[in-house]
């Protein structure tokens, strides 16, 4: 969808995003303080900092998902990943939030690995490479620590035989003009991509109750389609909870993206030295140009990428974050010192992730084939 001076689609994000405008355009709703409080309470009084700090900021029918939970009907979770060479830290955000939801509400979770979408969209990848990337990404996803008995990770090309009739039923309801309008496809778009949205919609039909989808806001156009066709197919309209984008190193507008070049993102495979170099060299600073000026005038945390990354992801402790904010703003803390804090946090985070990824190797089979939910899903077909 093209608006003003920014563009957000599931495949492209550019310009300076005005999130309030974007959600109005998409037809989503801002998360109010009241809904945040309700959500935290329902999750056992354990608020998540990404929700508290408005990084998860928008939703569709999150209130109805909570109603269903309170009435005992419950809901289930669904999220996904288009496998590419190397995940970046932004990709973990919806997954980490999903884990928090699964732990709090003890619900089933479906994770779609869209090897088909990636193959169709990224012409530089051949099929084999997409499969290799998919396995590699699944290890990173498994490392997030989902419940192996309540989680099913599936690759589109493998699970298709269990869902083909439902996929056809769904595809029959979605017209070419809908996908053109929703995704900006034109006559040069390959027909595989025009069909693909039907597959991203159907995991939200995996159970006869409401599905709640955590994702960044770029994926919302799919949920609009799901909600248009759900009831006609005998299912429930999906609920969604959207986050903003973790910004790239170069500035707080826009989206960290794996295709924009590795100097714009921190990849999960970056070693300690690479992290240090990237942050020191590229992280956009809200500081002043000399130490004297900085001491006198202070820095601007609102535009400082290091501070924003601490706020979004790496410093969940509110009082520690406030101290960093105040010290930086007053000039007591220098840019180099702020960056050093971030470098240490990222390296600790990645070390933990790498260890979890190693351990997760043994869980992959459970998530995909042998865990309780996975087994049930392989025995089930959808018509």
β-pair type (56-60, 29-30): antiparallel
Told to check if 377 binds ligand TYM by CB under 6 A, we report no
Told to check if 79 binds ligand TYM by CB under 6 A, we report yes
Told to check if 81 binds ligand TYM by CB under 6 A, we report yes
Among 36, 48, 155, 255, binds ligand TYM (CB under 6 A): 255
Told to check if 133 binds ligand TYM by CB under 6 A, we report no
Among 43, 62, 82, 154, binds ligand TYM (CB under 6 A): 82
Of residues 136, 162, 202, 209, the one with CA closest to residue 369? 162
User: CA–CA distance from 372 to each of 72, 108, 138, 379 (Å)?
Assistant: 22, 10, 18, 11
Told to check if 90 binds ligand TYM by CB under 6 A, we report yes
Among 28, 50, 256, 310, binds ligand TYM (CB under 6 A): 256
Q: Residues touching ligand TYM: how many (CB under 6 A)? A: 24
Told to check if 91 binds ligand TYM by CB under 6 A, we report yes
Told to check if 215 binds ligand TYM by CB under 6 A, we report yes
Name, in order, each residue with C-beta under 8 angstroms of 195's C-beta and a sequence gap of 6 or more: 171
* Contacts of the segment 180-188: beta carbons below 8 A, 24+ positions apart: 182/221, 182/224, 182/225, 183/9, 183/10, 183/11, 183/221, 184/1, 184/2, 184/9
Phi first, then psi: what are they for 155, rounded to 5°? -95, 135
Angle at 358 between CA 352 and CA 360, to 5 degrees: 100
Taking the complex as a whole, the smallest distance from the CB of residue 111 to ligand TYM amounts, in Å, to 8
Instruction: Please check whether residue 140 is in contact with residue 267, taking contact to mean a CB–CB distance below 8 angstroms.
Output: no
Told to check if 221 binds ligand TYM by CB under 6 A, we report no
Among 141, 243, 310, 313, binds ligand TYM (CB under 6 A): 243
Among 58, 108, 170, 219, binds ligand TYM (CB under 6 A): 219
Residues at the site binding ligand TYM, with contacts judged by CB under 6 A: 10, 78-82, 90-91, 93-94, 112, 114, 117, 200, 213, 215-216, 218-219, 243, 245-246, 255-256
């Amino acid at each position: 969808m093209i608006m003003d001076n920014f563009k957000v689609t599931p495949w492209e994000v550019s310009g300076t995003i005005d999130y309030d405008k974007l959600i109005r355009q998409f037809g989503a709703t801002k998360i109010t303080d009241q809904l945040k409080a309700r959500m935290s309470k329902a999750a056992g009084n354990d608020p998540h900092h990404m929700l508290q700090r408005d990084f998860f900021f928008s939703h569709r029918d999150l209130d109805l998902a909570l109603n269903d939970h309170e009435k005992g009907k419950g809901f289930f979770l669904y999220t996904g990943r288009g496998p590419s060479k190397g995940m970046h830290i932004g990709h973990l955000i919806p997954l980490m939030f999903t884990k928090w939801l699964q732990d709090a509400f003890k619900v089933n979770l479906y994770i779609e690995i869209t090897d088909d979408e990636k193959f169709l969209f990224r012409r530089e990848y051949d099929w084999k490479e997409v499969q290799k990337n998919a396995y590699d990404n699944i290890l990173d996803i498994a490392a997030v620590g989902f419940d192996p008995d309540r989680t099913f990770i599936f690759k589109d090309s493998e699970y298709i035989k269990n869902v083909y009739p439902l996929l056809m039923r769904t595809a029959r309801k979605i017209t070419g003009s809908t996908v053109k309008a929703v995704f900006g496809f034109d006559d040069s778009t390959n027909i595989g991509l025009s069909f693909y949205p039907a597959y991203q919609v159907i995991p939200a039909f995996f159970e006869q109750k409401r599905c709640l989808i955590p994702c960044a806001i770029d994926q919302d156009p799919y949920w609009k389609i799901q909600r248009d066709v759900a009831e006609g197919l005998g299912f429930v309209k999906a609920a969604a909870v959207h986050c903003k984008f973790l910004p790239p190193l170069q500035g707080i507008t826009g989206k960290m993206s794996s295709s924009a070049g590795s100097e714009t993102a921190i990849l999960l495979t970056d070693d300690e030295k690479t992290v240090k170099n990237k942050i020191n060299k590229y992280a956009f600073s809200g500081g002043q140009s000399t130490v004297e000026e900085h001491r006198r005038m202070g820095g601007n945390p609102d535009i400082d990428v290091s501070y924003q990354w601490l706020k979004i992801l790496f410093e969940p402790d509110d009082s520690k974050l406030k101290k960093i904010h105040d010290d930086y703003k007053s000039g007591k803390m220098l840019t180099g010192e702020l960056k050093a804090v971030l470098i240490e946090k990222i390296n600790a985070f990645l070390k933990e992730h790498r260890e979890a990824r190693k351990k997760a190797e043994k869980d992959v089979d459970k998530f995909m084939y042998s865990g309780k939910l996975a087994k049930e899903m392989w025995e089930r077909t959808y018509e």
